[in-house]
């Protein structure tokens, strides 16, 4: 092996070890607002937004790449309408699910911006009621691709504040959350 080849091997090994040394896990919580994708034509009231939260954890392999898993409670959307035959009709749409994301970051000292690409599996439940017919429930699960953007700021040695926007390709929600995570 030539002298130059040995230097290249040593440099690659050092870069790999530096990546392992900077690798770390994290857990966090975010709260924010969800916005349902509903058509409100013909309704008396239509509330598409609600408080949502997410619990997440991940593993940052190096300053630029992480893998993240999350649980979502996407909140509730509510609609009401009046119908001559059904009377007063109401519906509550609730969403919750899980996501798996690849996160690509661009660190800038204590701050970072990032893009996320992943898959989300969400369960959407409808609780409907009619003043003449009573109530009923139905649910469905969708698993689809998703993407997101965000920014973070390290405000203490192991604590990071985050602002995330996530677009789920399931029928129900977009999500904006503000949160923090702890690195270990």
pLDDT tens digits for 24-38?
A: 999 999 999 988 888
pLDDT at 7 over 60: no
Helices and strands in the chain: count of H runs, count of E runs = 1, 9
Confidence of residue 168 (pLDDT cuts 50, 70, 90): confident
Return the structure tokens found at 166.
């996530």
Query: pLDDT value at position 12?
Result: 46
Residue 8 has a pLDDT of 52
59: which strand partners?
A: 25, 67
What percentage of the chain carries pLDDT values higher than 70? 86
Long-range Cβ contact pairs of 94-97 (< 8 A, separation 24 or more): 94/124, 94/125, 94/127, 95/34, 95/36, 95/122, 95/123, 95/124, 95/125, 95/170, 95/172, 95/173, 96/71, 96/72, 96/122, 96/123, 97/71, 97/72, 97/121, 97/122, 97/123, 97/141, 97/170
Look at residue 6 and tell me whether its pLDDT is greater than 70: no
Query: Which comes out higher in pLDDT, residue 183 or 6?
Result: 183
Higher per-residue confidence, 156 vs 170: 156
Output the pTM of the full model: 0.79
**Which of 78, 92, 81 is closest to 139 using CA atoms?**
92
Closest among 183, 182, 63, 57 to 112, alpha carbons compared: 63
Mean pLDDT, the chain, integer: 88
- The length of the chain is 184
What is the three-class DSSP state of 13? helix
pLDDT at 19 over 50: no
**pLDDT confidence tier of residue 63, bands split at 50, 70 and 90:** very high
Please give the pLDDT value at position 37: 81
Which of 64-68, 84-88, 106-110 comes out lowest in average pLDDT?
84-88
Measured CA to CA, the distance from residue 103 to residue 16 in angstroms comes to: 19
């Amino acid at each position: 092996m030539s002298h130059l080849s040995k230097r290249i091997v040593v440099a690659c090994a050092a870069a790999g070890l530096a990546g392992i040394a900077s690798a770390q896990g994290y857990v966090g919580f975010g709260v924010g607002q969800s916005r349902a994708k509903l058509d409100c034509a013909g309704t008396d009231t239509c509330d598409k937004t609600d408080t949502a939260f997410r619990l997440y954890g991940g593993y940052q392999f190096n300053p630029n790449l992480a893998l993240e898993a999350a649980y979502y409670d996407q909140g509730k959307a509510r609609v009401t309408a009046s119908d001559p035959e059904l009377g007063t009709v109401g519906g509550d749409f609730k969403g919750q699910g899980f996501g798996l994301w690849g996160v690509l970051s661009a660190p800038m000292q204590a701050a970072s911006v990032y893009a996320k690409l992943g898959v989300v599996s969400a369960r959407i439940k409808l609780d409907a009621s009619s003043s003449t017919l009573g109530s009923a429930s139905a649910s469905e699960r969708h698993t689809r691709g998703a993407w997101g953007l965000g920014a973070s700021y390290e405000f203490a040695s192991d604590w990071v504040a985050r602002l995330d926007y996530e677009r789920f390709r399931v029928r129900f929600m977009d999500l904006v959350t503000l949160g923090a995570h702890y690195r270990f």
